[in-house]
Structure 1
Amino acid sequence: MLYSLIMSMAMAFAFTLPLMFTPVTLGVWIFLLALMTASLVTFFTSSWFGLILFIIYVGGMLVMFSYFVATAPNQKLSLILPFSLFLLIFMISFLLFLSNPSLLFLSPSLMAPSIHNSFAFLYLPKNIPSLIFLASLLLLALILVVKVASRKAGPLRPFN
Structure 2
Amino acid sequence: MSLMVVFCMLVGVMFGVLVVFQPLSLGVMVVLMSVVSSFFIGSSVSCWYGYMLFMVYVGGLLVMFIYVASLASNLMFVGGMGVVGCFLVLLGSGAYWMSLGKSSYASVVGYFGDSGFVSLVGSSGGGIMEKSMVWGYVGLGALLLVVLVGVVKICYRCDGPLRPFSLYYA
State the match for 1:75 in structure 2. Answer: 76
**Which amino acid in the other structure matches residue 28 of structure 1?**
V
- Give the percent of matched residue pairs that are identical in Structure 1 and Structure 2: 23
Root mean square deviation of aligned Cα: 2.6
Deviations 1:69-88 (A, max 9, x none): 11102223222222123212
State the match for 1:39 in structure 2. Answer: 39
**Structure 1 residue runs without a partner (length 5+):** 108-114, 120-160
Q: How does 1:5-44 map to 2 (within 5 A)?
A: 5-44=5-44
Structure with the larger RCO, 1 or 2 (CA within 8 Å, 6+ apart): 2
Contact 2:24 2:77 in 1 (8 A): no
Contact 1:8 1:94 in 2 (8 A): no
State the match for 2:148 in structure 1. Answer: none
d(CA) in 2 for partners of 1:47 and 1:39? Answer: 8
Contact 1:4 1:98 in 2 (8 A): no
Contact 1:97 1:104 in 2 (8 A): no
SS at match of 1:21: coil
What is the aligned residue count?
112
State the match for 1:52 in structure 2. Answer: 52
Does 1:92 pair with 2:93?
yes
Q: How does 1:102-113 map to 2 (within 5 A)?
A: 102=106, 103=108
In structure 2, relative to structure 1, the CA distance for the partners of 1:82 and 1:15 (3 Å cut) is: same
| TM-score normalized by the length of structure 1 | 0.60
In structure 2, relative to structure 1, the CA distance for the partners of 1:91 and 1:54 (3 Å cut) is: same
**Which amino acid in the other structure matches residue 69 of structure 2?**
V
**Structure 2 residue runs without a partner (length 5+):** 114-124, 129-170
Q: How does 1:120-159 map to 2 (within 5 A)?
A: none
Deviations 1:58-101 (A, max 9, x none): 10000010111111022232222221232122212431354242
Larger Rg computed on CA atoms:
1
| TM-score normalized by the length of structure 2 | 0.57
State the match for 1:63 in structure 2. Answer: 63
